[in-house]
Structure 1
């Protein structure tokens, strides 16, 4: 059991609270509150039958004090929904996945979309992909980048050498 005191976010659905929090970047929900929303004593089931990787007991801050509470992971929440089937559970699942979890995780930055560009490299065009502030080159284009530049000075030098020797 953790000795840390966690401060949950409280969400209201049909005048019933749902305490939820993020632990190690994963959403967790108070089992007692989930039980109230699905109409069953889910806390007893969680404490005695739910797999240990889907549940944990933590200390939660309440409005006036602290309490020990069973919490379930997102996977445990879905397991409870299938265990206690009820027509209302579909809208509960939608509410939690579309509103509660995104609100817990907070605003996310828009994902930067990859962008194509063209690089002019020693009289050749190389296709690039700009993504996450890095330039990406196709694997098949790498040999073109590694080929040495043709030495035009040596050709000209060769021609001059030939002209000087032959007198042309």
Structure 2
């Protein structure tokens, strides 16, 4: 039965009950649904409904809420341009197609034209 589950769908955990601790097999939500599909039996319908309608919602409600669970979009505005930014998993994300616009205004990436360098060299700067 366990051979049909991926490593992220099962895990041995130490569970403490009263004053004793014992290793128990824990199966993730996707693992439970995979087992129900692999070992189909019409009688399992009530088990699936109970898991879907009562157990999983209760577990999700008991989970601590993170500040941002889903990606949020924001806009950074400057006088020359505006930029869309996605905030996801506590990281800002910028679209790849917007990168040339950002790099074009970067003072570290600006190169002088050849005639300006030559004139500076001739003037002794």
Q: TM-score range by the shorter chain?
A: 0.3 to 0.5
Greater RCO (Cα-Cα under 8 Å, separation 6 or more): 1
